[in-house]
Structure formats: structure tokens, C-alpha cells
Structure 1
């Protein structure tokens, strides 16, 4: 992060995206991707395996949109089956100990919580996946709530974050994420937006409009120290 620390409004809560923000998703998803398309071939639903980078580049999207990008020529039955297999192989991988949090993620979460900040996740992922990442990586107790599009059936992250804020009566929060959907969710809900510039899944222009950029989650701490009361 640059030496000049942006002065943000002190938050009641910090809302985190999961994939590409807290969880280094490719450490799990590369193997999952191979398993999905091997099974689809075995079941006669789809042919060759698309590049895994295509799937990684879609992280942050809703699932229906992901499969339209990853295999646009697939049948609806193949995309539905891919949804089922994604969750199955993700959970199997997590239970086997695959995947890891970004360096400094747990430390940053613990220090934020110790300073009285409420912590949340807002993800476009599936409910069980989001909750199992948090549980199996040991960070679930640090959060007030784990919100997912899969659980709340929201059509955008804007709506998911709005629901979170309403249910918990939060006046001001920070939105922390690596994709344009996170910037949009923060902006449209009147939040300060911190863009995670360390993930490789998106493109730099996705974070245009963020109030601050960080290279590690531990950089949230000096931002909090410099923040001003509303």
C-alpha cells in the first residue's frame, strides 16, 4: 500500500467477500475443476475440459453466469450437473484439507474483532461452500454472519449486502473484495470500498472506484487506525 493512507469513515462492521479475498480459491479449485469435467465426460454430458483460468476468471459471479462463460455451448442439463459437482468436489476437497486462506487473513480478522468491529461475509457462492470454508479453516467463530447468494437467493451482491445491513441494523461498514461486484455492492449501499489487489482472478480495472487498495488483509489495520468517526 502507498505511504499516504486514505482516510475513511470508521466502520461498525467490515464485510468480506470470500473467494479471492479471504480464501485463495485456486488452491482448491484447480483440482475441483479437473474432477468436474472428468465426471461430465464420463456421464456423456460434456466433452473437453476448458482451461481452469476461465473458471477462475469467473469467481465472484453468480453460478448460472459462471457456467455460461465456462462452457457456453453446454446443455442446460450439463450446466445443472456442473453445479452439483462443483459443490460436491469443493466440500470433499475442503474436508481433505485442501485450499488455504490468504496470508495474514486470520490475523487481520482477529485483530479487527478485538477492536470491536463486527465481521461478516457476503459471497455470491453456495451456502454450504461458504460456511464450510469458514468452519474448516477455523474462522467461522470470528463472524457475526455468513451471507451467501445461495442461501438468500439474491440476484446481485448489491441486494445481498443491503439485506445484511438491514438485518443487523448497521449504519456504516466497509466492503472488502476483489471484484467489480464488490465495488458495486459497496458503492450502491453507501459503504467505503477496499479493493483487494493481491488476487489474480480478476483484472485491475475491476477495482476502479474503490476508496483504497490493499496488497494484504493486514493493511486493513492501519486503515482502521486512521479512520475518522462519521
Structure 2
């Protein structure tokens, strides 16, 4: 855990989902390969499946932007079908019961909830994907709200977090995430940023500007206990 500033104790914490709470690759990679097999079988894509690293490196983007990076040679029809297939296949994967949260996520969230911290999700993912993860891993009673680009129609994580703060009337919060979009969302909304350095999907500059870097999710409890009022 690397701290660069004194944190003020927040009334709320706002979490990214992929790479922060949820081990995305546990559902994404099987779905990813099935998706491209289906696209090829339907005649919508003829090239080999792009490298997994290209998809993992795009996490945190809006879905429409992800396909521009992952298959820039794909047609608009292929991109639209990929949107449909990814959600369908990921929900099937979640229903299969083999997906994973990061270590100590549930226990840490439960402790923070008991201590009176309001917990929220703010993700650039699709609405049913986010709610599917929360339901599958029995987290629904812990969160005061789930905000997603798919549900709320926001174009950036900055706008999504701004909307959350306004609608929930949150006055102080920590933004917790693993991508540069999370750092930007926290900074531009006047929040302290906790950078999650354990997922490893992005490059080493992803979390530049975070107030604190944590190497395990449970470090949040130590930060909260040490934070000033």
C-alpha cells in the first residue's frame, strides 16, 4: 500500500467493477472466444480471434469503443452483434457459477457496510452485466446504488460519477478503481482516488494521480481506519 496524502474519512465509497471488485477474466475470456466463434459462424467476421490482451487492455472503456480497439476491421454490424453476444455469453457464464471476485472483496464490503459507509458501483459496463455480478455473488444488500453507462446513458466515467453524487446527494466519497478513467472520474469530481494495483490489465501509468495505491482489496479497511474525520 502506497500512500501519498492524508485521506479524509468518507461517507461513501464508489467502486469500479471490472478489475476492482470482479475478476473479469473469469467470465470474459471464455465468452470472448465463444463470441468470435459465433461471429465467424454467422459470417460477420472472417479473421482470427484477436489476442486476449487486446480485450483485457480495453477494459474500462465504453463497450462501443472497445470493439473499435479489439476488431478495428469489423463492420458496424459485427460490432453491434458483438455487443449482444458478449452480454448474453457473460450472463450465461455468471449463471454457471464459476466466476470470481478478488480475494476478500465480499468480507471487506461487509465490514465497511457495517461501519456505516455507503457503497456504490460506477461502471462503464452494461446494466444487466453489473447487476448480474452483484446478484451472483450475493452483494445486493451491501450497495446503496448501481450506476452503469449502459443504464444511465453517460458518455464518460466522469459524467457517471457526477450523476451518482448528485442523485444520491453524496458529499464526500472515495473513488476506488483500477483504470485511468477511474482516476479521472475521481479527480474531476473532487474525490480522493484509491488506485487498485492488483489486477494488472492496464499499463503502469493507468493509476498515475491516485492518492493511494493498494495491492489488495482489504487494504481499504486499513485506510478507512487511519483516515481522519
The alignment's C-alpha RMSD in Å is 1.0
- Is the deviation greater in 46-55 or in 30-39? 46-55
TM (norm. structure 1) is 0.97
Q: How many residues align?
A: 228
Query: For the residues of structure 1 that align with 2:9 and 2:200, how far apart are their CA atoms?
Result: 29
Once the two structures are superposed, the pairs formed by residues 77-96 of structure 1 within 5 Å of their partners are 77-96=77-96
> Could you say which residue in structure 1 is the equivalent of 2:103?
103
> Could you say which residue in structure 2 is the equivalent of 1:12?
11
Following TM superposition, by how much is the alpha carbon of 1:213 offset from its aligned partner in structure 2, in angstroms? 0.3
Asked if the contact 1:197/1:204 (under 8 Å) is kept, the reply is no
Which string of whole-angstrom CA distances, capped at 9 and with x for unpartnered residues, describes residues 21-42 of structure 1? 0000011111001110000000
Query: For the residues of structure 1 that align with 2:93 and 2:168, how far apart are their CA atoms?
Result: 32
Runs (4+) off by over 3 Å: none
Asked if the contact 2:4/2:211 (under 8 Å) is kept, the reply is no
> Could you say which residue in structure 1 is the equivalent of 2:185?
185
Query: For the residues of structure 2 that align with 1:99 and 1:203, how far apart are their CA atoms?
Result: 24
> Could you say which residue in structure 2 is the equivalent of 1:165?
165
Please state whether the residue corresponding to 1:100 is helix, strand or coil.
Answer: coil
> Could you say which residue in structure 2 is the equivalent of 1:213?
213
> Could you say which residue in structure 2 is the equivalent of 1:151?
151
Please state whether the residue corresponding to 1:206 is helix, strand or coil.
Answer: coil
Give structure 2 stretches of 5+ with no counterpart.
none
Following TM superposition, by how much is the alpha carbon of 1:98 offset from its aligned partner in structure 2, in angstroms? 2.6
Query: For the residues of structure 2 that align with 1:137 and 1:6, how far apart are their CA atoms?
Result: 33
Which string of whole-angstrom CA distances, capped at 9 and with x for unpartnered residues, describes residues 79-119 of structure 1? 00000000000000000113100001011101111111000
